[in-house]
Amino acid sequence: MVGLDGSPAAADACRWAAWLAAKTDAHLITASAWLPHQSEGSPDDIAERRVAAESQLDNEWSQPARLVGVAPRPLLLDGSPELLLEAAEAEHADLLVVGNRGVGGLAGLHLGSVAHHLTHHTVRPLAIVPAPTAATIRERSSLASTAQREAPQPCSGAPALPPRCRPE
């Protein structure tokens, strides 16, 4: 299960969780908490906003998973982000994944309030995916290019590995 809020860090977490789900042949749930305020309008207005939030979660915020080739199951939670803990428990999630920073708070913090809360209250494994810096992205790209150029060629007499064990 990956918690999403529309932030760049959440998109990074979604990509990483989808990559892991693909590698382990696991299902992925993309979850987001939605907390309407009564001052936002009539019950009909709130119902329309909830439908829009479901659509945004399914179409926009879950898109990084689809780009990795994983079809996530969206789950919109009615309440605060702390409901991710209850949802992970109810869904028997093997792992809860979040980005290190959300859409709110102070930019100087390395860990957002939701990630901080989850670290102190979860009973399930938790992965907090840090947002990559520009230097980290360049470094990873450089290492990947070097690894591809220097990758050893397979032995002609070696048995073929099953598809799940083959290196990429």
pLDDT tens readout for residues 42-74 = 888 888 989 999 999 999 999 999 999 999 999
> Is the confidence at residue 75, as pLDDT, over 50?
yes
Task: Establish if 155 belongs to a structural domain.
Answer: no
pLDDT tens track for 87-128: 999 999 999 999 987 655 555 556 778 888 899 999 999 999
So what's the pLDDT on residue 38? 58
The residue range of the domain holding 59 is 2-147+161-165
Please report where in the chains the tokens 């382990």 appear, as a residue.
Answer: 24
Task: Establish if 152 belongs to a structural domain.
Answer: no
Task: Establish if 156 belongs to a structural domain.
Answer: no
> Is the confidence at residue 86, as pLDDT, over 90?
yes
So what's the pLDDT on residue 165? 44
> Is the confidence at residue 154, as pLDDT, over 50?
no
Weakest mean pLDDT among 12-21, 41-50, 114-123, 147-156? 147-156
So what's the pLDDT on residue 77? 95
Task: Establish if 47 belongs to a structural domain.
Answer: yes
Q: How many domains does the chain have?
A: 1
Output the domain CATH number for residue 39.
Answer: 3.40.50.620
Local confidence band at 81 (pLDDT 50, 70, 90 cut-offs): confident
Return the HEC string of the chain.
CEECCCCHHHHHHHHHHHHHHHHHCCCCEEEEEECCCHHHCCHHHHHHHHHHHHHHHHHHHCHHHHHCCCCCEEEEEECCCCHHHHHHHHCCCCCEEEECCCCCCCCCCCCCHHHHHHHHHCCCCEEEECCCCHHHHHHHHHHHHHHHHHCCCCCCCCCCCCHHHCCC
So what's the pLDDT on residue 104? 55
The answer to pTM > 0.75 is no
Weakest mean pLDDT among 3-7, 103-107, 156-160? 156-160
Task: Establish if 125 belongs to a structural domain.
Answer: yes
* Tokens at 80, concatenated: 């605060």
